């Protein structure tokens, strides 16, 4: 028996081999199946199927239907592969003032524009959300704060909130000197392939907060 021209180890019957249609068909089917994307209902179903002569080898790729997860076998374990999603960024340079003390989009003066993006959740259901801005407060003891809010759907500012704005996921600066700061966090539990939108919101702890040079980044992670 000879092998394919692409050095992939797929056996092909030679003219000197004894005729056997079943062996020929099975050899081709097994060789091709092991080099395609193997589909299983779950990780446990994959483990039960890939044993003995069918044990996984380095480079095998599988798809799990219960978690919509793609993985490659690295010779020791199944490693997740990221599918779908793309990094999206929005930058707004204009400066504006705000006096609201709860997270929102209202500005008291200056030029405000929404800093927002729409994105598609990757197969992992996880994204890294990063926010940064330049801050200055009207007093030395009051603060300026920004934080992301993520909603369902591709309509910017629309949909159901899946993660509201919070100080722990946002960036802040207290004082009447300029500072440009940023922070990121991982949002999990998203539906793979579904559309979402994220908007940067702001607030002042008290008095007047001034914001500029805002940037919002949403990046898929494995």
What are the average pLDDT values for consecutive 10-residue runs of the chain, which has 222 residues? 59 70 71 78 92 90 84 88 83 98 98 96 91 98 98 97 98 98 97 92 98 97 86
Buried-exposed string 130-159: b where 16+ CB fall within 10 A, e elsewhere:
bbbbbbbbeeeebbbbbbbbbbbeeeeeeb
Please, what is the average pLDDT of the chain? 90
For residue 45, give the 3-state DSSP assignment. helix
Could you read off the pLDDT of 89-99 as tens digits, one per residue?
Answer: 999 999 999 99
For the chain, what are the domain ranges? 2-81, 88-220
pLDDT for 213: 98
pLDDT for 33: 64
Give percent of the chain with pLDDT exceeding 70.
88
pTM of the model as a whole: 0.71
88-220: CATH architecture: Sandwich (2.60)
Q: Report the alpha-carbon distance of residue 171 to residue 203 in Å, rounded.
A: 11
**142: which 2 tokens?**
């009051």
Alpha helices in the chain (DSSP H): 21-34, 43-49
pLDDT for 6: 47
């Amino acid at each position: 028996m000879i092998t394919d021209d692409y050095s992939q180890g797929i056996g092909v019957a030679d003219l000197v081999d004894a005729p056997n249609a079943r062996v020929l068909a099975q050899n081709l089917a097994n060789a091709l199946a092991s080099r395609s994307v193997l589909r299983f209902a779950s990780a446990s179903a994959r483990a039960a199927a890939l044993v003995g002569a069918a044990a996984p080898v380095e480079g095998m790729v599988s798809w799990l239907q219960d978690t919509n997860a793609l993985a490659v076998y690295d010779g020791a374990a199944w490693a997740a592969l990221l599918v779908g999603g793309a990094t999206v960024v929005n930058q707004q340079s204009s400066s504006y003032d705000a006096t609201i003390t709860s997270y929102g989009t209202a500005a008291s003066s200056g030029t405000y524009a929404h800093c927002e993006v729409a994105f598609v959740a990757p197969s992992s259901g996880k994204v890294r959300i990063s926010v940064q801005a330049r801050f200055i407060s009207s007093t030395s003891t009051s603060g300026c704060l920004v934080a992301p809010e993520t909603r369902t759907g591709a309509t910017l500012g629309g949909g159901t909130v899946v993660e509201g704005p919070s100080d722990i996921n946002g960036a802040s600066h207290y004082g009447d000197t300029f500072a440009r700061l940023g922070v990121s966090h991982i949002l999990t539990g998203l539906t793979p392939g579904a559309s979402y939108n994220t908007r940067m919101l702001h607030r002042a702890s008290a008095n007047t907060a001034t914001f500029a040079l805002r940037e919002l980044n949403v990046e898929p992670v494995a």
